[in-house]
Homo-oligomer: A and B are copies of this chain.
Amino acid sequence: MERLQRIRSCEIGDHTGERVRVAGWLHSVRRMGGINFLVLRDGWGIIQAVVEQEEALAPLLAAGAGVESVIAIEGTAAVAAQAPGGVELREPRIEVISAVMETPPVVLSKREIKASLTTQLDHAVIANRHPTRRAILRLGAVGMEAFRATLLAQGFTEIQTPKIVAAATESGANVFALDYFGRPAYLAQSPQLYKQIMVGVFERVFEVGPVFRAEPHDTTRHLNEYVSLDMEMGFIENHLPVMAVLRDVVANICAAFSERCAPELALLGVQLPVVQQPIPAIHFAEAQEVIYRLHGMDVRGEPDLSPQDERWLGEWAQQEYGSDFLFVTGYPTKKRAFYTAPDPRQPRYSNAFDLIFRGTELVSGGQRLHRYEDYLAVLAERELPEEPFAAYLEAFRYGMPPHGGFAIGLERLLMQLTGVPNIKLATLFPRDLNRLTP
């Protein structure tokens, strides 16, 4: 007899009344009133099989196969309102592909993972199979794709820049040191300098890749290795076109989640934000005035916004505009990275911005300096040596247009959109101060 072609769990609705074959992991077995319900999980979802004849379970019993065993089930697809997805398999024939006899270190069949954070992370290899974990990771994949699709449609070219670099240059952040054939080297803490250089080649570039931060703190919001969604674009007048592209990116990520990840959003209980067009924006100095006016806290003259300030501004954006998002523009030049372009009309403020989402900073970006002389001046002013920046400076020495860009931390975005309590739960295998495995 010809074996049936395997279908995916998500395709079952197209096959009701037919005999089909599915394959995946034995997610759970429940016995109710003399009937057994097997739940099978494949890469796309779960599907239930109803076992009315005990002997159908014989292959499982013979192999001693428990949950997480890899199995195939042939059965008749039948509409069943109470089944997950509304279709179940009846009169199943079970085949064991790979038997698991031990209890997994994390229980995967419950609606939520009960294991401690440490256990989950220690056994992420297995915990990532849990539907809620998988949902977050799938959102991450769809988010990357929406980021790329938005930029490709706007004429951007993808780049992959070196992660091993000769000098720790961009900022004061700690970097990981490396032995490069006997020479010191470092892991790139961002593609910032390279993406700016590549504006000289393609004008509009983006990169999706790992960045490395040797920051020795263990918080719920930091990872030592994370995925950065970076873009940089040339021939702009100021920071506004960069903000417009960021708005499109965020809107398209939310749209992709909404269109393609409805089961994941439902499972995680995520309410997606509305992304207005344009996103409301307020100048840094005006933001400080708003805080003073509404909360009596005189932060005017402070060089940066505190987390409390951001929360207040998030509330204000909600009340004033009904918006979950708020751009704050014009952060004081001196507090931003050396390559930040000042506002030509009032140079103590910059053409840099942050995007605040529900009261927390989500993205940073802005216009950069583009004149060689301006770089020489700012490096001198900040007492930074020129030599480690030699390649970077070469780009400006031989002609660069006004340009700007932004960087989104993928895990930070996922954390803030899904509400997971710890950023370590927004990535596959987190790296932190104490964790190098799995």
Give the total of A residues in contact with B, Cβ under 8 Å.
94
Cβ of A134 under 8 Å from chain B: yes
Per DSSP, chain A at the interface is: mixed
In the complex, per-residue mask of A224-263: 1 if CB is within 8 Å of any chain B CB, else 0: 1101000000110000000000000000000000000000
Cβ 8 A contact of A141, one of B157, B166, B391, B400:
B157
- Asked if B164 and A144 make an inter-chain contact with CB atoms under 8 angstroms apart, the answer reads no
- Asked if B163 and A225 make an inter-chain contact with CB atoms under 8 angstroms apart, the answer reads yes
Q: Which residues of A from 361 to 411 have beta carbons under 8 Å from B?
A: 370-371, 390-392, 394-395, 397-402, 410
- Asked if A97 and B402 make an inter-chain contact with CB atoms under 8 angstroms apart, the answer reads yes
- Asked if A145 and B128 make an inter-chain contact with CB atoms under 8 angstroms apart, the answer reads no
Closest to A108 in B: B398
- Asked if A194 and B152 make an inter-chain contact with CB atoms under 8 angstroms apart, the answer reads no
Cβ of A344 under 8 Å from chain B: no
Cβ of A289 under 8 Å from chain B: no
Cβ 8 A contact of A180, one of B43, B152, B162, B436:
B436
Cβ 8 A contact of A178, one of B44, B125, B161, B176:
B176
Cβ 8 A contact of A394, one of B97, B162, B177, B438:
B438
Closest to A99 in B: B399
For the complex formed, measure the closest distance between the CB of A376 and the CB atoms of chain B, giving whole angstroms: 14
Closest to A438 in B: B391
For the complex formed, measure the closest distance between the CB of A196 and the CB atoms of chain B, giving whole angstroms: 10
- Asked if A179 and B180 make an inter-chain contact with CB atoms under 8 angstroms apart, the answer reads no
Cβ of A68 under 8 Å from chain B: yes
A and B contact pairs by CB, cutoff 8 A, 24 listed: A8-B155, A24-B203, A43-B202, A44-B203, A70-B401, A98-B399, A98-B401, A100-B398, A125-B392, A126-B395, A126-B398, A128-B200, A137-B201, A145-B152, A162-B428, A162-B431, A163-B212, A164-B176, A165-B436, A176-B179, A178-B178, A183-B436, A209-B210, A390-B437
A interface residues with partner B (beta carbon < 8 Å): 6, 8, 23-26, 42-44, 68-70, 97-98, 100, 102, 104-105, 123-126, 128-129, 133-134, 137-138, 140-141, 144-145, 148, 152, 155, 157-166, 176-181, 183, 185, 187, 194, 197-198, 200-204, 208-210, 212, 214, 216, 224-225, 227, 234-235, 370-371, 390-392, 394-395, 397-402, 410, 428-429, 431, 433, 436-438
Further pairs besides A97-B401, A105-B394, A181-B433: 5, Cβ < 8 Å: A6-B235, A125-B394, A162-B429, A176-B178, A391-B438
